[in-house]
Structure 1
């Protein structure tokens, strides 16, 4: 790594936290450990971090509250939640506030580093992508700025919304395979990520409803299809 990636680690179990920090440092990352969400927010305000790995259940301030506060400072920072819970509601709550991934305890150190590497690869890949503009019916979609525009109305999309709409646009009027989209954006095609993707599809439908010629339809058992009136794709 030419420039060491900095990870903010927040875990109230100090023994586990120190173990994780040492492991990440051995893997070539810079990692700073904080023991509760309040310390984590203060640490983030002082330092520049490329990623956050945080426990959910913590004293003083829990992981969800901490991430909501940090996302107000930087909505782009990737987040992995660590949790002893496997409650569906918790996992969906995590995705709603912008989690990139979720790992249930106990987990292996190798699994954590694989997930970190996958997310960082995706973030780096996004930075080097060429400036892509899509025309979707009466909308224009700027994937770099994550802006969806119709007439004089601009909507700033979240990172996940933007990534999902980019995939749908690149497969406009074709089936976007569900598994492909999940692996591409969420890394893992498990049940919780699939439920999370459904939430984002619903959000995108709301954003696009200003143009009735566009729709995102479910293709049962396969995935989704973005139906647009643009026929340029067929001319090739």
Structure 2
């Protein structure tokens, strides 16, 4: 799905230019010609970045930034303004804007900066993400709840630890010693049959046919691999 951009500018020519630049970067655009329209859109829709003019006629863009941050809306904001005083740029950044570009601007530079901000924001979101998603499976590391195709599957503590290990490292082959260390917290074998017991339990819960597993597969003579 394409990232969504909200373009807020009272100049129709600038709105159209920015729309073309964003579309050329495979981004989806929504346009607002004044502050009140922008605030209404931010109330009912989610965007990945806001391109914001300061002089909007009905209000200053600074007010929109203040409103967003006070409401806990952390969407990145790039100010694109004809006001090139140091005070304006410093004030905008102090309110929570992520960048400040003055008009006239080079379209290719704006496009590159927007992509860079989106990339950086996605990285930050991934770092703080508590939900691990692999194919049809998802696991909330905060609540320790596990889902397959959106439906919760109840797992025991050890099953959750084992499933979490697999989800964090899809495709990796785990030996018995590696599993003991990761799940039991020791590299000393607890029970030769313990791993097989928990593997079978997981298979009975997530596989279409536990006797012909396609997700938790055995690598003969080595261990197990998880395939989402």
Shorter-chain TM-score: what band?
0.5 to 0.7
Deviation digits for residues 18-74 of structure 1 (CA, Å, limit 9, x no counterpart): 221133123211111101111111111121101100101111111101111122233
Counterparts of 1:17 and 1:115, CA distance in 2: 17
TM normalised by structure 2 equals 0.54
How many residues get paired? 129
Structure 1: state its 5+ residue gaps.
132-236
Matching residue within 15, 18, 24 for 2:16 = 18
1:59-98 correspondence runs (5 A): 59-98=57-96
Instruction: Return the alpha-carbon distance in structure 2 between the equivalents of residues 30 and 130 of structure 1.
Output: 25
Aligned residue runs from structure 1 range 113-128, under 5 A: 113-128=111-126
Contact 2:50–2:76 (CA<8 Å) still a contact in 1? Answer: yes
| Deviations 1:167-192, CA, capped at 9 Å, x for gaps | xxxxxxxxxxxxxxxxxxxxxxxxxx
Structure number with greater Rg is 2
SS at match of 2:5: strand
**2:4 matched residue in structure 1:** 6
Which stretches in structure 2 are left out of the alignment for 5+ residues?
130-228
Aligned residues of 1:36 and 1:62 also touching (Cα < 8 A): no
Which residues of 2 match residues 113-152 of structure 1 at below 5 A?
A: 113-129=111-127
CA distance in 2, matches of 1:34, 1:130: 31
